[in-house]
Structures are given as structure tokens and as C-alpha cells.
Chain A
Amino acid sequence: MGTSTVPYGRSTQKAPAVKEVHILWITAGLGCDGDSVSITAATQPSVEDVVLGAIPGLPKVHLHNPVLAYEVGDDFMKFFYDAEEGKLEPFVLVVEGSIPNENIKKEGYWAAMGTDPTTNQPITTNEWIDRLTPKALAVIAIGTCATYGGIHAMEGNPTGCMGLADYLGWDWRSKAGLPIVNVPGCPVQPDNFMETVLYLLYQVAGLAPMIPLDDQLRPTWLFGRTVHEGCDRAGYYEQGDFAEVYGSPKCIVKLGCWGPVVNCNVPKRGWMAGIGGCPNVGGICIGCTMPGFPDKFMPFMDEPPGGRVSSSAIGVYGRAIRSLRSITQNTVNKEPKWRHPRAELTTGYHPRSY
């Protein structure tokens, strides 16, 4: 195509390095489908922004998620069988739900997707992970179950379930050299996940460098700060002003909030469209994005043991600050004395013409 035939605006645009990408999504871990449901709430970007090509420079995306797919049954499973046979290139695999331990019992299954035509028995989710992960361009674990085990992996669980990196190994790399990308959250914050997908699509398109991940394989720009650092109630903490009852607008660390030590951006970003969240709207942070979730945060409604020391330490300082601030606040709550209806001007201006 000669430059003369290209409208000027297109000179800024490049064809993506990869034209089309399939996203294969397995929801058949031990989960609740809450992450699939969550991403339908995303707007930054929305699922339709990505699927309909509303963002420039990206490959065309074919999404195969069982909650949203038009296809049913074998029409849907065909993509998975094709991917297994290397006929669906390239694809990104999304895994939702924790990975059970199928080796701890004599027979049967904890989690399965589809039926093996030769044995007429269910095909385990683990089997699908074994078949597909070697072929995937990238693998994303969505939600705390798939990333670290989550609720279903709590103490006393009967299935021995775990996160994807526990199952595949923390050093696992895709054939394109990417580690597992973990986007935790119970459920995942909608935009956090869609934004991670967007980043990976930029990377696949050749428009972004390797996705930056921390040692728990989380995108650093999303999980690099704590709940507390993004919480609009942190000001109360600074002043040593703590809520004693639920429903108070003050800092709720004494009521069970783990915000000061939890990696998560929800209070800053809100749950969706800037609305909702956790401690910012009166819900204690129970650490649902964390590898130690849920056991290390239970019982949820007790004050975190480590928090007692720091919240008492802040008490003295905070109370002093608060009283000093209240003096200043009183002052700034009063208008300057020259604003009045009397028949004299006291602003400091001395008129010569009236």
C-alpha cells in the first residue's frame, strides 16, 4: 500500500505483531465462577471493548469463556481439543478456581470438565491443565483460588487443593518465556483483571515490554501498594481515631481490618466505576488477595494481633495531632472579619473615589 493511499492518521498505527489471539478460559477449578462474573462488570476496559476491537493496536481477540460463549457442548469444546492438538495458535489460557489434588484418593474426581469418550468418565480439570499449559503463549491465574488456593484450600479441606503455581511449579515458564501471571482477589477486582489482559495483549502485539511481576507473580502496578496506603480512612488512623462499632466512618483496624499489610488497590480504585470497596466503605479487609488467605486472617472480626501495637503507638501521637489540628480547623472555619454588611469598608483598601 503506497503512502499516498493511506489516510494520514494511519501512519501512527502499526499492525500488531500477532494478528489474532484466542483466550481459552477454564472455570472448572474449585471455584465459584465469581471471577468470570466479575469481569463482566469491568469498564476499564470492558470485555466488549477487547472483543470488539475498541482499543487500537491490539490483535483480534476470540474469547472462549463458558459463561459468555454462544457455542454449547462440542462446539465449545472444539477450541480446547484444537488447542491441545496445536491447531489453535496462539492462545492464552485463563485458569479459574483452585487445583485439587487428584492423587490422594483411589478413584473418582474432585473437579472435571467434559467426558472422556473412551472411558465415559469425566476428564479432570488437572488433565486439561496438563494438556494445555505446554501449548499456551501465556497462562493467567484469575482470582485467589487459582493463584494461591483461596477459600477452598483452607485448613481442614478434604480435596488438598492449591494454586496453579503450586501445581505447575513457581518457576514454570510458558513456551514464550512468560511466568504464570497471578491476578488475585476474591473475586478479582473487575478492572484489575481486564487491564492485565490488556497489558498482555499489548505485549503480544509488540507494543509493551515483559509484564512486570513481583515475587508472588502479581502485576506490580496493581499490587505494589497496601490497602491502607490507598484507603481514605487512613487519615483517621494517622490521628489515632479508631471506630469502635461497625458503621462508623472512622478507621476500622480495631474491628478486624488487615489493610495495613495487604497488597491490594481496591480502596483506591473502588470496586467498580470508583464505587464500593472494603475498608473505605466500612468493610474490614480480610486479606482476600493474599497467599495466606483465608487462614492467616481468621477469625476475621478480631483485631489483627500485630495491629494492636502499632495502633496503640499511633494513639499518643495521633491524639496530639488531632487536638492541634482542631485548633487550626476552628480558625479556618471562621471567615475573615472584613466580610460584613456594616456601612464601612474594613478590607484594607482605602477608596479615593467613593
Chain B
Amino acid sequence: MSTVTAPTKDVPGKSRNLVEMNWDPITRIVGSLGIFTKIDFEAKKVAECHSTSSIFRGYSIFMKGKDPRDAHFITSRICGICGDNHATCATYAQNMAFGVRPPDIAEWIVNLGEAAEYMFDHNIFQDNLVGVDFCEQMVKETNPKVLAKAESTAAPHSNEHGFRTIADIMRALNPFTGSFYLEALQMSRMTREMFCLMEGRHVHPSTLYPGGVGTVPTVQLFTDYIVRLMKYVEFMKKVLPLHDDLFDFFYDALPGYEEVGRRRILLGCWGSFQNPKVCDYKYEHMTEWGRAMYVTPGVVVDGKLVTTDLVDINLNMRILLGSSYYDDWKNSETFVKTDPLGNPVDKNHPWNQTTIPRPQKRDFNGKYTWVMSPRWLDKRTGDHLALDTGGGPIARLWATALAGLVDIGYIKATGHSVKIYLPKTMSKPEVEFEWKIPKWSNAIERDRARTYFQAYAAGCALYFAERAMEELHGGKTKTWSDFKVPEEAIGCGFHEAVRGVLSHHVVIRKGKIANYHPYPPTPWNANPRDIYGTPGPYEDAVQNTPIFEENGPDKFKGIDIMRAVRSFDPCLPCGVHMYLGGGKVLKTQHSPMFGVQR
């Protein structure tokens, strides 16, 4: 069954003069993404959208028959910016399959590593990649009137961040020359040092194992981490007001900007940061330990929290085909008929998926991508929902806020907001920030949530460091629990990769991997139309995005489209191209070379 994923804003029957334009590749993201658009310049709107991937590697195929203990080393290599999220998620699935519970201090160490990853990755993406879309050079080229207004608009929080006007903030974001761009790049190195303290190496960790970590917990380990963390905390006290000023300005300067990248509120979050006091990795207790995570798992539909139950989240995952270069697996083996609680497991669930690649010509009216279409079955309606992650933070904060479960001193979920308390630092007093549930799931709010989640991760890290040192001071320094690989087992891991939901599903037979299917955020966000015709989230969010850029078609940069797409923090080592446009092609051109037919 299909579901409407975006409000329809088109006037039916009206003839439209569409111009096809493409940007391939989209830069300043991870992986290769191209955008093919048809734009209605009269209505100042993007017409339609398809999304397609250009690279296939075949993890689910070459992992078959391998030792299940190798899964986290192998799957880390799926992603070059959040590989550690994969490694971590894989160890969660291994722990379940092997029936092993790591010592508490190992979980705190992993949580500290993953917190550093969020602090690093959101920072470099926000201020060195996305930030360029909001920098002076870019705004000058796309919206000179907006830049002129920025020059004369005082930054409301200049006391906190030191930039007098909004244009000063924009100048500071200019690539390789802006002061804030360079400061953020430096900071992204310091947070990676924090990461390396806990997980050995960035981006493919060396010290993670099923059963715990190889990291040696010493006084120095935590000293080295905490002094760096406090520098980051101080940095956040500047960064958060800076981004609030910048993003609020765009709503002011360009009324209607909330429509850019807007889609129906359909958010998924699989939860992050295990609580070792509760988590025993037993599937039978997954509902309980899922809700004990320090980022609450949840599905948010139209602003309502549908579930926080990981068992529910797990069982309703569906992997659909429709526009992807694969054969159906309905005649392949069903590996898992029921879960350990006795619930039936669907044939289109990752545990039962068989990947059968069929390379072929790209046909935008047929098969056009290597990405499959993950959906979440809403049992209330029977809809296969095309959930998105909004790049991660907006879904995490939204689910956590509504659930109201997290309350750890530095972080408090209130039921309608998330409060973040940051203690005094070298030159700035203590401060409390509050992320409030926004009105829209759109480009600006995805970007804003990213900054708030950086502060959230820092607050969590402060809490985890305290817990880890309690263990250390109590002499509990064992970091690893032994285990045996069973002959037959299944496992699943749920985590939040930096840019959103991440799951790993493994089936073990005769002590080897019989089936393995990871589902990172990008397949959720960048997927094509499924068999029911439901478009993927990028397709849906870019479709009908209004155009605010001042340039006409001859110098068109597509900045509003770029902001819409980059707000999802595309991470496409699996390679994704987007094709936007349906209907009749009237004119083709490659931006920005107007009139040049290649």
C-alpha cells in the first residue's frame, strides 16, 4: 500500500515550462551524488524527482561464509566517515548472537568514542561542507540582496560568538579562508583525537571487539579525553548561538524559506548509547534496554510518537524493490521464520533478504539505482512509510524529546523539548540550551538540529566520562568478556549512525555468516520509488521545493536544491545519483553552462 509523503502543491492541468538541469556530482558530501532536475522557473519550483546510485560493492554477498567475529572489521569499511558506527552496530549484533555482555566500562568507552564521532562528524559536515552553502561567497553569487541585508543585520547573539553582523558570520564560513571555517576544521581534528583515544583509529576503529574493547582504561586515557571535551564544550557555547542567528536570519530574509526541503514529518531513530546497567543484549529484553538508551529509539509520524519499542521497530522493517537493480528473493531461503519472542518475521525483513544483483542499463522509467527501498510498516494504517532520518539529529532529538525518558543531569527530555546543560568552561559560564520541537521537517530545521545534537553529544560525553571513571576508581578495569561463537544463532544491532538510523542483521549457520544485511541511513533517505510508487525521501523533499535564488536559468546555481539535499547529510559511499523530473522533457541543459548541449 502506498502513502502520500508530501503535500501536493501543484495546480492540476496547468501546462508547465520545465527546464531540465543537472549537477553531477554534488560535492561536499561523502560519496558521489548527482542531481537531475526539471525546474519550473515561472512558478519558481522544482517539478519532480528520482534518486539513483552509481556504485555497487556487494557486502551482503562477500560476507557469506566468513567468520562472524570478523563482521565489525569488515562492515566498518562500508562508510568512510561513520565506519565506526557500523563497527559498533556490528558488535551489538555480535553480542546478541554470541550471548555476551561486555563489562560496564567497555560500554562507557564505546559511548565516549561514539559521542566523539558525533561531535567530530556533525561539526565538519555542518561548518566545512554544508556551511559553504551559507557562506558569503555563495550567498553573493546566489542571493546578493540577501547578502546586502545580512550586512546590515546585527547578529542577535554577537556577545556569545563575537561576530557583529550576519554577513560577518557568512564571511567566517568562506572555505579555506574564513576564520570559523578554519577553526571548525581544527576542532574536527581534536574531536577525532578524542575518538582515537577510545576506539584507536578514525574512521575504521582498531579496538572494538564483540564482548568489549581492547582500549586500556587508565587515568591518562580519561584525562586526555576530558581536557579536549571541555574545549569542545566551550566551542559549542559559541557555535550554537552562531547557527541559531544564521538560520533564523534565512527565515527573516526569505519569507517562505521553511518550504525548502520540507516533507511530511516521517522520522525514524533507532536509538544510541547503550546503558550497560540495563542492556544485556538479549532479544527478549530488547524493548526494555532499547528504552534505556541515552538517545531514545522512536518513529515519529506527523509529529506523534508511534513507538519507542525496538522489537516493534525491528519487526516492521521492510526492504522493497521497485526501481533497483536486483532480482526479487521470494524464491530464496527464509532464514528466520520467527523472532526469539515467537513473532513472525516477514520475507522482506533484512534477516530474510537475499541480495541478487542484476547490473543493467539505467532507465528512469524502470530500474535506475543500486539502492533498495527500505520502508517501515505502520500497522495502524498498513502504510509502508518512507521514513527519513533528516540527517540524524532532527529525528534523534524529536524522538527523544517526545519520549521524555532521558534524564542524566546534562540532558533532560521534557516530552516537548530537550534541555542541554553545559558546565562552566575556561572563559564562558555554565549555560542551558533547549531544543524545541520545530514546526517543520525542512532543510533549515535539519541543519539547526545538527548543531544542537553536537551539544547533546558533548553533554552525554560528560556523563559517560563520569561513569567510566567511577568504574576505574572502583578498580573495575576489565574491558572484555569472553564468548564462544555458536553454531546457529541470529542477532540484530540497532544504533544511530551520524546521519541516522543504522541496523545490522546477522544469521549464523555452522559457525559462519549465512546472511548479513546492514541498513545504514542513506538507503532510508536516498532510495528510489518502491513497488507501490512511493518516492524516497530525497525525491520527495526536493520535489516542490521553491526556488529563492535570484539568478535566472543562465547563471542558476541551484542553491536552494543544494541546501535541501545537503540538509539530509548525504553519505553515499554506495554512490547515489538523483534524477529529478518526470513528465515531458522540454529542454535539457547542464548547469551552469546554459545553452551548451553536450
Contact = CB atoms under 8 A, between A and B. Distances in A.
Interface of A: 27-28, 30-38, 40-41, 43, 48, 51-52, 66-77, 105-115, 117-118, 120-122, 150-152, 154-159, 186-187, 245-249, 252, 266, 270-273, 275-278, 281-286, 288, 294, 298-301
B62 A155 contact: yes
B64 interface: yes
Contact of B196 (A68, A77, A272): A272
Contact of B216 (A152, A156, A249): A249
A157 B61 CA distance: 7
B57 interface: yes
10 contacts: A27-B32, A74-B592, A109-B54, A114-B25, A122-B54, A158-B56, A159-B56, A278-B201, A282-B207, A299-B69
A72 B26 contact: yes
A30 B597 CA distance: 30
Contacts of B205: 283
Contact of B197 (A31, A52, A107, A276): A276
B480 interface: yes
B411 interface: no
B21 to A, nearest CB: 9
Interface stretch (B357-365, B443-451, B533-541): B357-365
B439 interface: no
Nearest to B35: A73
B81 interface: yes
- Most B CB within 10 A of own CB, among A48, A109, A121, A298: A109
Interface of B: 22-32, 34-36, 54-58, 61-62, 64-67, 69-70, 73-74, 77-81, 83, 106, 124, 128-129, 132, 137-138, 175-176, 182, 185, 188-189, 192-193, 195-197, 200-209, 211-217, 224, 325, 357-362, 477-480, 482, 557-558, 562, 573, 575, 577, 590-593, 597-598
Closest 6 CB pairs of A and B: A283-B206, A34-B80, A276-B196, A73-B23, A108-B359, A282-B214
A252 B67 CA distance: 20
B214 A51 contact: no
A9 to B, nearest CB: 25
B24 A77 contact: yes
B30 A299 contact: no
B202 A276 contact: yes
B558 to A, nearest CB: 8
A238 B287 CA distance: 49
Contacts of A115: 22, 24, 34, 36, 577
Given A37-B203, A107-B359, A298-B67, A113 B80 contact: no
Contacts of B30: 33, 36-37, 67
A281 B200 contact: yes
A186 B74 CA distance: 11
Given A108-B325, A281-B200, A48 B176 contact: yes
A125 to B, nearest CB: 8
Contacts of B80: 31-38, 187
A252 B557 CA distance: 54
A275 B214 contact: no
- Most B CB within 10 A of own CB, among A32, A33, A112: A32
B356 to A, nearest CB: 10
A277 B573 contact: no
A117 B590 contact: yes
B82 to A, nearest CB: 9
Given A70-B132, A105-B359, A281-B206, A30 B189 contact: no
B447 to A, nearest CB: 17
B27 A72 contact: yes
A141 B217 CA distance: 37
- Most B CB within 10 A of own CB, among A281, A286, A298: A281
A278 B25 contact: no
A129 to B, nearest CB: 15
Contacts of B62: 152, 154-158
Contact of A282 (B29, B193, B213): B213
A71 B27 contact: yes
Contacts of A300: 67, 69-70, 73
A39 to B, nearest CB: 11
Nearest to B356: A158
Contacts of B562: 72
Given A112-B54, A113-B32, 13 more contacts: A27-B31, A32-B80, A69-B27, A72-B25, A117-B590, A151-B77, A156-B64, A157-B57, A276-B202, A282-B216, A284-B214, A301-B69, A301-B70
Nearest to A270: B196
Contacts of B598: 117-118
A48 B186 CA distance: 10
A64 B79 CA distance: 21
Contact of A158 (B58, B74, B129, B196): B58
Contacts of A52: 176
B209 A111 contact: no
Given A117-B590, A246-B209, A275-B196, A43 B189 contact: yes
A28 B189 contact: no
A111 B202 contact: no
A28 B54 contact: yes
Contacts of B79: 32-34
Contact of B189 (A33, A51, A77, A272): A272
B472 to A, nearest CB: 12
A33 B590 contact: no
A244 to B, nearest CB: 10
B176 A282 contact: no
A107 B361 contact: yes
Contacts of A272: 189, 192-193, 196, 202
- Most A CB within 10 A of own CB, among B67, B224, B361, B577: B361
Contacts of B216: 247-249, 281-282
A72 B58 CA distance: 28
Given A34-B203, A41-B189, A112-B54, A246 B212 contact: yes
Contacts of A36: 30, 80
Given A152-B57, A159-B58, A276-B193, A271 B29 contact: no
Contacts of B61: 156-158
Contact of A70 (B56, B66, B175): B175
A187 B204 contact: yes
B203 A112 contact: no
Contact of B28 (A30, A68, A121, A122): A68
B339 to A, nearest CB: 28
Nearest to B58: A158
Nearest to A104: B359
A114 B592 contact: no
Nearest to B181: A48
A3 B573 CA distance: 54
Nearest to A158: B58
A72 B23 contact: yes
A272 B23 CA distance: 35
